[in-house]
Copies of this chain bind each other. A is one copy, B any other.
Amino acid sequence: MIKKIILSGFGNVGKEFVKLLNEKKSYIKEKYDLTLVLCGILEKDGCIYEDRGLDMSYLYDCPLGSRGILKYSDFNREAFYNYPVLEGDILVECTPSNIETGGPSLNYIINSINRGMDIVMLSKGALVTNFNQLIELANKKDVKIKYSGATAAALPTLDLGTYSLAASQIKNITGILNGTTNYILNRMFEDDISFEEALQEAVEKGIAERENSMDIDGIDSASKLLILSNSLMDTTYSLEDVSITGIRDIKKQHILQAKEENKVIKLLCKAYAKDGKWMLEVTPEKIDTNSLLGNIKGSNKGILFNTDTMGEIYLIGGASNPRGAAAAALKDIINIYI
């Protein structure tokens, strides 16, 4: 089987996806009898498209973002289009997440679905803003839509909930879904440093971005929790339905006090039923230091599914980097077609 891929977004993750696709191409052909061809890349300032597949050796030399597209079109002028060419079997969505409007990805996705293309998403934006619309449209047009990379990159939270827990009922979910805040809280715990010092260190190490409010204030965690809930618990919530507290106000003394009780503060994402209604909460909470979630170190993530038939299942780890995210997209593509 041959499948033509259109990639939207040529940032860190998009370029990593291109590299990984190239690295794994023959393995995927051999193992799954699936030939994946990258035919197009969409960026803000234009699009490159070649029906026989883009030239990987050109692409490797191209810088990130629109500059990369323009550089590629210097190599091959005929490949450049000033509008999005959606001539493929599947769209892999890697543009930066915009959780207020959905960003340009929203249009790419809707247009692709309308053309009968399957969708794999790594960006959260359109899932946060237009979840139900996208799922309904995909159902109507009978295309597949997968987005496991949008809910914790390489940690397969959605796979577990949809595939491994098929026919099980989820009683509640507790997760640590943001690596940056876990890193900061862990550093405060380990070395008794302040929130500001830990944040500074995280920025210096490239774990936090300079613009880090989405992480610190719990919005990134809440977005992932929201997508999990709408996917697994059939809620139709939006971000306003999530009660969100970030970690900005966590002081040294809170950490010390927790320590004295053999506890550690973690930014927890919780989904639980109350009076027949699903409640979604992101909140810093004290938990036992030697519990499995309490033991999650550095910028790692983890999630606990409490179920009616399979007991408690923990999923912990998964690379929090562009390569891990790209691998999640590749896995989704394969699981759509095999």
Q: Which of the segments A4-12, A157-165, A245-253 contacts the partner chain?
A: A157-165
Q: Which A residues fall within an 8 A CB radius of B?
A: 20, 24, 27-28, 31-32, 148, 154-156, 159-160, 163-169, 290, 292, 295, 302, 304, 309-321, 323-324, 326-328, 330-331, 334-335, 338
Chain B positions within 8 Å of A168 at CB level: 327, 331
B313/A327 in contact, CB under 8 A: no
B154/A331 in contact, CB under 8 A: no
A314/B315 in contact, CB under 8 A: yes
> 13 A-B contacts, Cβ less than 8 Å apart?
A20-B309, A148-B164, A159-B159, A159-B160, A159-B164, A160-B160, A167-B334, A309-B324, A311-B318, A313-B318, A314-B315, A314-B316, A315-B315
Chain B nearest Cβ from A141, distance in angstroms: 18
Q: Which secondary structure dominates chain A's binding surface?
A: mixed
CA distance A326 to B164 in the complex (A): 13
CA distance A316 to B315 in the complex (A): 7
Residue of B nearest to A302 (CB): B314
CA distance A315 to B317 in the complex (A): 9
Residue of B nearest to A155 (CB): B313
CA distance A331 to B335 in the complex (A): 17
CA distance A335 to B160 in the complex (A): 12
Chain B positions within 8 Å of A165 at CB level: 331
B327/A310 in contact, CB under 8 A: yes
* Given known contacts A27-B167, A331-B164, A312 and B317 CB-to-CB distance under 8 angstroms: yes
B167/A156 in contact, CB under 8 A: no
The 6 A-B residue pairs with the shortest CB-CB distance, nearest first, are: A311-B319, A309-B327, A156-B164, A154-B310, A314-B316, A166-B334
